[in-house]
Amino acid sequence: MTSYPRRDPVTDRLLTPENSALILIDYQPTQIESIGSMNHHALIQNVVMTAKLAKTYNVPIVLSTVNVKSGRNKDTIPDLKKALGDIPSIDRSSINAWQDKEFVEAVKATGRKNLVIAALWTEACLTFPTIDALAEGYHVYPVVDAVGGTSQIAHETALRRVEQAGAQLTTNAQLACEWQRDWNRTETVPDFVKLLLGAGDFINLGD
């Protein structure tokens, strides 16, 4: 039972902690409350899990909100902020985060071409930057169990659109296994087990 030597984690065709960045967009109270495609509690638990996975594997994270500074909206939900720690948030006025200079600069500053993305809503704040990032040569991986739309049909139609544009859909379970890849990487196994195997409700899509 001998694993091949680890492939170059930067050029690996699969996702690795070294070639990925996590993008989190608009996990704010108003957006959460307007989701109609899945259970709100499950949505929060799932995106928190996504964030914790990124922290476990030291994946850089770009966090963005909309209309906090203008006073029209509240900041990132507390559960997610707690999981993220002191990561700064980039506030914007544009629905499409890719049309915000500071956001795009933050993404480019990660130096990563594989963007794992979770955003609310699926039909807007996930779809628009995904299509723009793909057009600029990025590979985009929406975490489908950590995103939601205003209705089931809006969510599913948006996922079809981004997939047709070239996005590669993923889930928390797949993401965890892809970043972990080998049980011989023992330093991250405890958190992998705790997050994925020990918290089944985190990956429950619910009604």
Q: Known catalytic residues?
A: 125
Q: Reading across the β-sheet that carries 114-119, which strands appear in turn?
A: 89-92, 61-66, 20-25, 114-119, 139-142
Count other C-beta atoms under 10 Å from residue 185's C-beta.
Answer: 14
CA–CA separation, 148 and 120 (whole Å) = 6
Cβ-count burial 27-41 (b if 16+ within 10 Å, e if not): bbeebbeebebbeee
The CA distance from 119 to 172, in Å, is: 14
Which regions of the chain does DSSP assign to beta strands (E)?
20-25, 61-66, 89-92, 114-119, 139-142
Q: How far apart are CA 139 and CA 80, in angstroms?
A: 24
Please tell me the distance from the alpha carbon of residue 187 to that of residue 170, in angstroms, as a whole number.
24
